[in-house]
């Protein structure tokens, strides 16, 4: 908070004579009841902020990993073996940390979430010319007020985060996002990697 003040004062120099002090302004009130006035400007700076956390706090970048090495092909002599095979559409849960905590906080008005990736439109790559589309990675949120953007090779359509207070100006939402592999394709063998960047934006 910043206050700027401009004050006025009067000094009595004699029984019937009034004069202003230096740097002061004489109000000119010579009849009872006597009054003096001072103006004071008020200025409050309220900074806008927006905060997004997906997974661990701080600068840590978490990894959601899927182990498909135990899945037989969707066709061929081993196709009838559990667990159902690659490309059958039977979803595969992440191995390890497949559920991440997501937090959005802002006082800047309506918030949207979007996702981009580093796949240059091709998806997750194995370094040998093989790709898996980002649409094979599904995300489910346990909080309708903080939905997860639907991943795709081209990036996502922005989703709205529900405001929580002060006529839509303030948002405080927390959710758990759970990732799974859709398993509707049978990719070539390899380790596929990629990185998703989530962005929270406000007007």
Q: 28-79, pLDDT tens digit by residue?
A: 667 888 888 788 999 999 999 999 999 999 889 999 999 988 766 555 544 4
pLDDT at 86: 80
Q: Are 113 and 102 in contact (CB under 8 A)?
A: no
E strands along 87-164, which residues? 92-93, 99-106, 111-117, 124-125, 131-132, 137-141, 159-161
Burial zone of 42 (CB within 10 Å; 0-12 exposed, 13-18 middle, 19+ buried): exposed
Contacts of 69 (CB under 8 A, 6+ apart): none
pTM confidence score: 0.77
* Residues of the chain above pLDDT 70, percent: 79
Do the beta carbons of residue 153 and residue 135 sit within 8 Å? yes
Among 53, 29, 34, which Cα is nearest to 200's? 53
Q: Tell me how long the chain is.
A: 203
pLDDT in tens, 115-158: 999 999 999 999 999 999 999 999 999 999 999 999 999 999 99
CATH of 50-201, one of 2.60.40, 1.10.1760, 1.20.58, 3.30.2020: 2.60.40
Cβ contact 179:98 at 8 Å: yes
Percent of the chain having pLDDT more than 90? 62
Residue 186: its pLDDT value, please? 85
- Beta pairing partners, 42: 3
16 to 13, 30, 31, 35: CA distances (angstroms)? 8, 10, 12, 16
pLDDT of residue 33: 84
Residue 85 or residue 117, greater confidence: 117
Look up tokens 């135990």; give the residue.
Answer: 70
pLDDT digits (tens, 9 = 90+) for 162-174: 999 999 999 999 9
Q: How confident is the model at residue 90 (pLDDT cuts 50, 70, 90)?
A: confident
Mean per-residue pLDDT of the chain: 83
Domain span(s) for CATH 2.60.40 in the chain: 50-201
Q: Which of 156, 162, 111 lies closest to 138 in space, CA to CA? A: 156
């Amino acid at each position: 908070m910043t206050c700027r003040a401009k004050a006025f004062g009067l000094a009595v120099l004699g029984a019937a004579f009034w004069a202003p002090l230096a740097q002061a302004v004489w109000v000119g009130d010579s009849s009872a009841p006597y009054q003096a006035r001072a103006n004071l400007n008020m200025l409050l700076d309220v900074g806008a902020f927006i905060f997004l956390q997906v997974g661990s706090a701080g600068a840590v970048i978490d990894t959601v990993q899927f182990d498909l090495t135990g899945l037989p092909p969707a066709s061929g002599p081993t196709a009838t073996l559990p667990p159902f095979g690659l490309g059958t559409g039977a979803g595969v849960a992440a191995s390890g940390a497949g559920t991440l905590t997501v937090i959005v906080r802002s006082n800047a008005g309506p918030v949207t979430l979007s996702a981009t990736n580093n796949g240059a439109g091709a998806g997750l790559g194995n370094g040998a010319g093989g790709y898996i589309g980002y649409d094979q990675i599904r995300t489910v949120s346990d909080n309708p007020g903080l939905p997860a953007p639907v991943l795709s090779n081209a990036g996502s359509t922005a989703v709205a985060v529900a405001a929580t207070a002060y006529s839509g100006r303030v948002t405080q939402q927390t959710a758990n996002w759970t990732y799974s592999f859709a398993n509707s394709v049978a990719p070539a063998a390899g380790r596929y990697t990629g990185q998703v960047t989530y962005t929270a934006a406000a007007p």
